[in-house]
Structure 1
Amino acid sequence: MNSYKKYTVQYPLLVKLGVPIIIGQLGTIVLGFSDTLMIGHHSIQELAAASFVTNMFTLALLFGLGFSYGLTPIIGKLHGQEQKFSIGKALKNGLASGCVLTIFLILLMGLLYLNLSNLGQPEELLPIMRPFFLVNLVSIPFVIGFNTFKQFFDGTSDVKTPMFVMIFGNIQNIIGNYILIYGKFGMPECGLLGAGISTMFARFMMCVILVLIFFTRKKFAEYHKGFFCGKVNMKDFKYQNKQGWPLALQMGMETAAFSLSSVMVGWIGTTALAAHQVMLTISQLGYMLYYGMAAAVAIRVSNYHGQKNYEEANNTANAGFQLISMMAVVVSVPILLLKNSIGLLFTDSQQVVQMVSLTIIPFVIYQFGDGMQSNFANALRGLSNVKPLMFVAFLSYFVITLPLGYLLGIYLKGGIIGIWSAFPFGLTIAGILYRVYFKRTLKREASLI
């Protein structure tokens, strides 16, 4: 097999897994996109308030998503060995770990809620932020539950089921937004709070549907045996936490580079905060596309890890990066061409639209680094070597991105453009280091055969 073909043969396998995951990931974007789009045309104050609260919860929820990702390589490896009973038992342990995480996140975000007035945000936004914050707080258990069951479906290569559930949830959320934000069909006009209620109910329904599918389908009978007969034991519980927490910290710190930047942008003013929310919504498009394909890389690598086929694991990771690089071009070109008008989708404010158009430049620059870090972080996840992820994330996002954003945006008075100009540095450094650790891990695992 020539050097190029060994990668291209992986393309259809990754696309088959990746496209449903991408559609499901886009469903996550549409939840936030529809909220931002509808709220932006309701009032700029609500858009700014949504920016801060949404980004604080994005940090918490992606922290939880990262934790649940620790379950995927465990299930993927067992799936490669066709151990259905053990998979059911692993899912049960994953849910037990998820319950502990849920309590932790609710307490953490509750503490943040009590200190909203101490974070330097515009005073006029606080009465709008508080009820929206509380509704998001209630939805945390449903998000964690959905993510945990989703890892079971993804790890067993059944990626279409959660995709369809996510599509249903988004349709429900958009309809709910229309009714509750604007007060249609006899309902009161709730504005931002209505968007929060609609999203919370959509998350609840998605969790319930995925749980019902798992427990009612006969084809999962063998997994049910492991789930009901297997016990939550300390050994498996500790192992899943050992896999989950580094991933949670990695995704949490990566998200913090963006979410905590919202605090700095809030110091600049309401208009900048509104533009920041628009940019975060746009940026999530690329991130979720890349991460969807990268999740397929993690599944394939974990399967090969179970079979001890490390040559194909390497080919899969490289093929995944090639596909993600192509996707980065497809995402970047139209956004760059439409940079002067894309903000109009979200708001009529010309000041916000102008800020968005300038911030598009650093956004396009960091797409390559974002794709690289997504791909090789997931390739490492597939090999169950997750400890390096949190150390690299700390260096890239807390030591480099956030201080550099403060320097360029606040100290040197570069504003929101300066803050966003720090992201290409952190993301690219993370991608390079993840690739180095992936190659080292492959070499080590291959030497043990």
Structure 2
Amino acid sequence: MSENVAPTASAPRSLHGWSTEFRATFTLAWPLVIAQVAQNALQASDVIMMGWLGPEALAAGALASSFLMPFFLFAAGVVGAVAPLTAQARGARDIKAIRRIVRQGFWAAILLAALLLPVVLQIRTVFSWIGQDPALAARAEEYIQIAVLMLFPALGVIVLRSFLSSFEATRVILVVTIGGVVVNAFGNYLLMFGNFGMPRLELRGAGIVIVLTNIFMLAAMLAYVLRHRRFRRFNVLIRFWKPDWPRFRELFHIGVPMGLTVLAEVGLFTAATMLMGRLGTDEVAAHAIALQCASLAFMVPLGLGVAATVRVGIAYGRQDREGVRKAGWTSFALGTGFMAVSALCFLLFGPAIVTIFLDPGVPENRHALALAASFLAIAGIFQLVDGAQVVAAHSLRGLSDTKIPMLMAIFGYWLVGLPIAYVMGFVFDWRGVGIWTGLACGLAFVAVLLVGRFAMRERLGLLDRIRL
């Protein structure tokens, strides 16, 4: 079936042209991009301030966070299904459905947090199994025993972010996230170090603050939704305890593959870090530098991806094939366009960029800096495919298509990218360059599959709910 289908009364003509879609997507996406950067800043402030406590506290806090985050990211992927579902309901002008979807999103958040909490609390046992230093494991447990409670408010924040994003109310997300960064930094200053007469709680203080920060963000977003005239009509908390089992099941049906897709990609980069650890300290340091630079650039297509989910979902909900096409390809063009610029920067200015992280005047740093520059050159090459795959995946989420993309991601990352990384790095002795080459190949493979799937959405029956 061709992309250009003549509209009928059942399948309305797209309401606007390419330029209008471009402006709508950009307006929706830019606050989300900055909010993603701010979220990274929140995590970075934790790491920096833990470092002020000393290397042991930093190591323990980093280990605890690295243990907690995969569980959180999986759960966030599941409840993130609120975004495409509410966008589709908005397109269909179904206010009652929106309220029920958000309510079931909160239910899913509470259930997932309750299920994951006892698992995360086994951190000391898990660390003992894998041979971590007992003293570090004990200090990591100090942090995680409190920090794990952040799952409840943090997943609630994801539900409200998804709801607000589906109505293009992204500036409030940005403001609340920046507020969270401030609360987190000030709270750490008080409770980690005992300033202004507060007790010095060190890592326990950091755990308390991350919970309080997420409670603040949840309360701020919830107050906005309940009080703002645009959103209070949805009454998202009315009859909160009333179940809607079909929508609850649908949320997990769409969301679980989303969560597993996130885990597959995070796991690939974690595995790459483990492989780097076999090569030496300089390789690990260089890998961390290049990964930090690539992650920062990735925030732009990630924000555009969320915008793509919303724009595609709205068009899908209003039965607008042409709108789906314009929304998906506009986000794709913006995402890959930005990544082309960042790729050029990495390729041309990589050696200068890496000096932000290590002093080139110190002789011991020179090898790590040279490695980081070479890794960043390859990161520049895969910037394009990384942007393409994340926007394509989010566009497909707008069509509630998540299961097949999940399988594509798992196959591409773990059966293509990781084996190539190992073979290139260790069999062909390309070392760190070979590992980064494998990452690029895995991302490129997934990007081709996902972009191709969106391009063939009509033939694959992904738009069958839109009547001709």
TM-score range, shorter chain: 0.7 to 0.9
Range 89-98 or range 402-411, more displaced: 402-411
Contact 1:298 1:378 in 2 (8 A): yes
The reply to whether residue 342 of structure 1 matches residue 356 of structure 2 is yes
The equivalent residue for 2:453 is: 437
The reply to whether residue 119 of structure 1 matches residue 130 of structure 2 is yes
* Counterpart pick for 2:440 among 404, 417, 424: 424
Alpha-carbon distance in structure 2 between the residues aligned to 1:216 and 1:123 = 49
Range 191-200 or range 103-112, more displaced: 191-200
Alpha-carbon distance in structure 1 between the residues aligned to 2:123 and 2:19 = 48
Shift of 1:255: 1.5
Range 84-93 or range 269-278, more displaced: 269-278
**CA deviation profile, 1:23-56 (whole Å, cap 9, x unmatched):** 2212211112223344557655555555544333
Alpha-carbon distance in structure 2 between the residues aligned to 1:411 and 1:52 = 30
Change (3 A) 1:44 1:283: farther
Contact 2:312 2:328 in 1 (8 A): yes
Alpha-carbon distance in structure 2 between the residues aligned to 1:13 and 1:366 = 27
Letter matched to residue 181 of structure 2: N
Change (3 A) 1:341 1:64: same
Change (3 A) 1:73 1:96: same
1:37-436 to 2 correspondence within 5 Å?
37-39=48-50, 43=54, 47-121=58-132, 125-179=136-190, 184-185=195-196, 195-224=206-235, 227-228=238-239, 231-266=242-277, 276-335=287-346, 337=349, 338-344=352-358, 350=365, 356-409=372-425, 416-436=432-452
The aligned length equals 443
Alpha-carbon distance in structure 1 between the residues aligned to 2:125 and 2:333 = 46
Q: Which has the higher helix share?
A: 1
- TM-score (normalizing by structure 2): 0.83
Alpha-carbon distance in structure 2 between the residues aligned to 1:273 and 1:180 = 32
Alpha-carbon distance in structure 2 between the residues aligned to 1:270 and 1:192 = 26
Shift of 1:241: 1.1
Contact 1:215 1:224 in 2 (8 A): yes
Letter matched to residue 214 of structure 1: V
**CA deviation profile, 1:371-404 (whole Å, cap 9, x unmatched):** 0011110110011111112101110122223333
Shift of 1:282: 3.1
Shift of 1:439: 2.3
Alpha-carbon distance in structure 1 between the residues aligned to 2:283 and 2:196 = 34
**CA deviation profile, 1:354-379 (whole Å, cap 9, x unmatched):** 65444323322221111001111011
Range 16-25 or range 121-130, more displaced: 121-130
Alpha-carbon distance in structure 2 between the residues aligned to 1:378 and 1:318 = 12
Change (3 A) 1:269 1:42: farther
Letter matched to residue 340 of structure 1: V
Shift of 1:300: 0.6
- TM-score (normalizing by structure 1): 0.86
Change (3 A) 1:401 1:59: farther
Contact 1:310 1:442 in 2 (8 A): no
**CA deviation profile, 1:244-290 (whole Å, cap 9, x unmatched):** 11111111211111234444445556665555554444332122221
Change (3 A) 1:118 1:164: same
- % identity of equivalent residues: 23
- List runs of 5+ in structure 2 lacking aligned partners: 1-15
Alpha-carbon distance in structure 1 between the residues aligned to 2:109 and 2:166 = 17
Q: Secondary structure at the match of 1:231?
A: coil
Shift of 1:143: 1.4
Letter matched to residue 27 of structure 1: A
Alpha-carbon distance in structure 1 between the residues aligned to 2:145 and 2:289 = 22
Range 202-211 or range 372-381, more displaced: 202-211
**CA deviation profile, 1:117-144 (whole Å, cap 9, x unmatched):** 3335567754553334444423222211
Change (3 A) 1:369 1:313: same
Alpha-carbon distance in structure 1 between the residues aligned to 2:283 and 2:103 = 45
Shift of 1:407: 3.8
Alpha-carbon distance in structure 2 between the residues aligned to 1:267 and 1:297 = 39
Letter matched to residue 442 of structure 2: G
Alpha-carbon distance in structure 2 between the residues aligned to 1:401 and 1:409 = 12
Alpha-carbon distance in structure 1 between the residues aligned to 2:236 and 2:190 = 43
Alpha-carbon distance in structure 2 between the residues aligned to 1:406 and 1:120 = 23
Range 242-251 or range 44-53, more displaced: 44-53
Change (3 A) 1:164 1:319: same
Letter matched to residue 125 of structure 2: L
Shift of 1:165: 0.9
Contact 2:79 2:105 in 1 (8 A): yes
Shift of 1:306: 1.1
Shift of 1:320: 1.0
Shift of 1:17: 0.5
